[in-house]
Amino acid sequence: MALLAALDIADPPSTWAALGFSVVDDTVWVDNVAHRLGLAGAGVVGWELWGVADGALAAEGIPTVVVDEPEAPSPAPHANSVVGLDHIVVMTPDHARTVASLEGAGIECRRVRDLGPRVQAFFRLGPVILEVVGPAEATGDGPAELWGLAWTSSDLEATAALLGDRLRAAKDAVQPGRRIATLDASAGLSTLMTFMSPEPSR
């Protein structure tokens, strides 16, 4: 099974700390994924994967490091009630190409959702869902982009109370029984984020 081991993120550690994340040595640990902060650029600028074919994602233009063994996690509770990384979104101008690259890397496509002009494909990187979004027909040959992060909060109301006006009002998520709230640009991040309520008990 392929695993997401780390994400490289171009936001100051102090900004993430102000949002209630526990930051240790410029790193935030969620779901055994190291979110390494303070890199150059904007948003999520690269990732580290385990259990994939080296070089298979070269066509996507996403800075990728394949590791033999993920770093030992150093988890800590987060004041914003985040307990998991639900999914990460990749945007691509050529959906078929990106899906083929991921499958060529040994990451199985679990489901495809047709939204008319757009298509979503879903993969698993351990506990984390990888959602690939792109046009039904390719619009160019440019690179794919690590676009946004969606967290699972154990208590979305507590998250909203902590973040205040920095978090937009929650609404029903696509996933049945869940709610989702988007971080506002006023929070000062270049990384797009949403916060989701837990999956309902079965």
pLDDT for residue 142: 95
Length of the chain: 202
Residue 51 lies in a domain: yes
Residue 172 lies in a domain: yes
Q: Which helix H or strand E contains 99, and what residues bound it?
A: helix 95-104
Residue 202 lies in a domain: no
Average pLDDT, rounded, for the chain: 94
Q: What is the pLDDT of residues 66-80, one digit of tens each?
A: 998 888 888 789 999
Residue 201 lies in a domain: no
The total domain count for the chain is: 1
Name residue 48's beta-bridge partners: 6, 65
Mean predicted confidence (pLDDT) in 86-101: 96
Give the 3-state secondary structure of 24-78.
ECCEEEECCEEEECCCCCCCEEEEEEECCCCCCCHHHCCCEEEECCCCCCCCCCC
Query: Where in the sequence is the domain holding 31, given as residue range(s)?
Result: 3-196
Residue 91 lies in a domain: yes
Look up the CATH number of the domain holding residue 81: 3.10.180.10
